[in-house]
A and B are shown apart, each in its own frame.
Chain A
């Protein structure tokens, strides 16, 4: 097991080195003035001394090898540079935005997986019945709706018409709530974006689970379990669902990697201060250092999620890995 983990770890270290190097090289091979990249379009109004100062500050007058060394050092110390649009260090922005994204996208992923798995199981178990057909129709309908539209409908009904929930943001501004009150405030702000996220992403899990469960139910070992006299519930959950979950687990792990990238559309509709919206804003204002940093965060989290998946998968599927027990 130790050997297996070490081997996998080494693989991912190599992937990360390649990735970081690419991230370093990309802006340097892109056409255009590096000054524009660093300081934005305002560069045209700068004096040559100011330009020189910027180049010097970012070490762009050093050799490429020296630049690479500095770049690596900066990444390890969390120094991602400066967002000229927001006039703040990028690391500060990320620290501020990441918790909200983890809350919204992480919870959204967990909830939609649980709901999708439960209904997928029921649907497959009752294949061809009214329950199955109704569930299928409902989930197909949900998946056909665009997320911004669902978000706007929810806002107009629950926030504007009924006035039950706040319209936007992650918590009330300038309210200075503490403890339980702040928690309730955050939950209230979370309900609509979370519901939207779950509604539009639950169908894929439902479909995968239903299909996978149907496949498993046709297997001989399910028939044998019935012939053995195993109770129906035990067959459904212990024998069938346990096997049918494997593809869902794979998809879950893959999606986990992308959660740190946030849910751009939903965060934008609800003006939710997550990484997705930060990225959207950075792209709009061509805030290159910020774009680069958010991309790096996403790639890191995808690699880490893959590594986790590699570690967890042998426990889910005995056929995979775990060579040394």
Chain B
């Protein structure tokens, strides 16, 4: 399988009044063609910053300070503005966090989808309208409603419109950034099923950003787990479920209720996420890790491949393997 996106040692910092916040540091992963990657972690761990770094949407006081992002072999972080305009939405698009606000309230949903089509594809207005109608039908909305304003749709429908918009220019990669936030559970399930369905149909690559571990494990091919700005583990869903290595991944799995096994106790993770401002060199999970030892407090563990396709950043692995 060919790699569509590869992120290498990406670091994005924010300047704050108190110092430098290392929101994302040394993050590496990749997405294959037609693959769905789940990027998970608790709120504030840097998932959205990763997405925005890939999309080149980081703005002052934030800055991508190191690393590279290759989309089909082209380094996005070094692309010029005009190259970037050409890549946007044709190659990579996004369904934003709480897609409820993804639509501009003063324009019709059709206008907003058509805007993207006319920007990137050499078609006339009439063809763009036709395509917009087809896209809306694709996500289960009556095509004739392209003339409606966002407030005339329900939350779930707005979500679908945002998905239709993300697909407007046949992108290779779609980043879905917690796009089911704010929807009720049933609608969430429908929207996720829709994304999965379209991904298969169009052989899309998708990065699904979420904090909902059971949902991610049920539909993603691979999973990358983030903690406090670092990637701690990255492996196939099966590996994560059966052989999670990082203490945080294990704790996360233990903290999730299991419907098929009600006997199992749900264990919360004690402590809280450290502040990312002026964070010293260390394993960022050491304050909450039951296995932490001296080295964890002084050095940052490397993100390394412990078996084919399974990456972990933990000193325990190094110790075990000598």
Check A221 against B89 for contact (C-beta < 8 Å).
no
In the complex, B97 has a CB within 8 A of chain A: yes
**A129's closest neighbor in chain B, by CB?**
B60
Check B106 against A229 for contact (C-beta < 8 Å).
no
In the complex, A57 has a CB within 8 A of chain B: no
- CB-defined interface of B150-173 with A at 8 Å, one 1/0 digit per residue? 010000000000100100000000
Could you tell me how many residues of chain A have their Cβ less than 8 Å away from some Cβ of chain B?
20
Check B151 against A318 for contact (C-beta < 8 Å).
yes
In the complex, B255 has a CB within 8 A of chain A: no
User: Closest Cβ of chain B: how far from A231's Cβ, in Å?
Assistant: 8
B94 neighbours in A (Cβ, 8 Å): 224, 227
**A317's closest neighbor in chain B, by CB?**
B106
User: Closest Cβ of chain B: how far from A323's Cβ, in Å?
Assistant: 12
B97 neighbours in A (Cβ, 8 Å): 220
Q: Which of B113-121, B241-249, B277-285, B299-307 is the interface stretch? A: B113-121
Check B104 against A239 for contact (C-beta < 8 Å).
yes
Check A243 against B106 for contact (C-beta < 8 Å).
yes
Contacts A128-B60, A220-B97, A319-B149 given; indicate if A229 touches B89 (C-beta within 8 A): yes
B151 neighbours in A (Cβ, 8 Å): 318-319
A229 neighbours in B (Cβ, 8 Å): 84-89, 116, 119-120
Give complex CA distance A243, B107 in Å.
Answer: 10
Check B149 against A221 for contact (C-beta < 8 Å).
no
In the complex, A182 has a CB within 8 A of chain B: no
Could you tell me how many residues of chain B have their Cβ less than 8 Å away from some Cβ of chain A?
31
User: Closest Cβ of chain B: how far from A320's Cβ, in Å?
Assistant: 10
Contacts A229-B84, A229-B119 given; indicate if A223 touches B57 (C-beta within 8 A): yes
In the complex, A230 has a CB within 8 A of chain B: yes
A243 neighbours in B (Cβ, 8 Å): 104-106
A220 partner, pick from B55, B60, B98, beta carbons under 8 A: B98
In the complex, A88 has a CB within 8 A of chain B: no
In the complex, A87 has a CB within 8 A of chain B: no
In the complex, B101 has a CB within 8 A of chain A: yes
- CB-defined interface of A306-322 with B at 8 Å, one 1/0 digit per residue? 00000000001111000
Check A228 against B106 for contact (C-beta < 8 Å).
no
User: Closest Cβ of chain A: how far from B164's Cβ, in Å?
Assistant: 13
Could you tell me which residues of chain A, from 98 to 141, have a CB within 8 Å of some CB in chain B? 128
Check B105 against A223 for contact (C-beta < 8 Å).
no
Give complex CA distance A50, B185 in Å.
Answer: 85
Give complex CA distance A316, B165 in Å.
Answer: 24
A227 neighbours in B (Cβ, 8 Å): 55, 57, 88-89, 93-94
**B149's closest neighbor in chain A, by CB?**
A318
B165 neighbours in A (Cβ, 8 Å): 224
In the complex, B292 has a CB within 8 A of chain A: no
B104 partner, pick from A128, A221, A231, A316, beta carbons under 8 A: A221
B98 neighbours in A (Cβ, 8 Å): 220
B120 neighbours in A (Cβ, 8 Å): 229
Give complex CA distance A220, B94 in Å.
Answer: 11
**A240's closest neighbor in chain B, by CB?**
B104
- CB-defined interface of B32-48 with A at 8 Å, one 1/0 digit per residue? 00000000000000000
User: Closest Cβ of chain A: how far from B150's Cβ, in Å?
Assistant: 9
In the complex, B198 has a CB within 8 A of chain A: no
A318 neighbours in B (Cβ, 8 Å): 105-106, 149, 151
**B165's closest neighbor in chain A, by CB?**
A224
B86 neighbours in A (Cβ, 8 Å): 229
**B113's closest neighbor in chain A, by CB?**
A228
In the complex, A226 has a CB within 8 A of chain B: yes
Could you tell me which residues of chain B, from 61 to 120, have a CB within 8 Å of some CB in chain A? 84-89, 93-94, 96-99, 101-106, 112, 115-116, 119-120
User: Closest Cβ of chain A: how far from B14's Cβ, in Å?
Assistant: 13
A223 partner, pick from B96, B106, B149, beta carbons under 8 A: B96
Could you tell me which residues of chain A, from 226 to 263, have a CB within 8 Å of some CB in chain B? 226-231, 239, 242-243
Check B88 against A221 for contact (C-beta < 8 Å).
no
**A319's closest neighbor in chain B, by CB?**
B151
Check B96 against A220 for contact (C-beta < 8 Å).
yes
A316 neighbours in B (Cβ, 8 Å): 106
In the complex, A219 has a CB within 8 A of chain B: yes
A219 partner, pick from B84, B99, B101, B149, beta carbons under 8 A: B101
A221 partner, pick from B102, B116, B119, beta carbons under 8 A: B102
Give complex CA distance A36, B93 in Å.
Answer: 77
A225 neighbours in B (Cβ, 8 Å): 104
Contacts A228-B88, A229-B120 given; indicate if A221 touches B103 (C-beta within 8 A): yes
Q: List 5 A-B contacts (CB under 8 A).
A: A219-B101, A223-B52, A230-B119, A239-B104, A317-B106
Closest 9 CB pairs of A and B: A229-B88, A220-B101, A318-B149, A221-B104, A229-B85, A220-B96, A228-B116, A319-B151, A228-B89
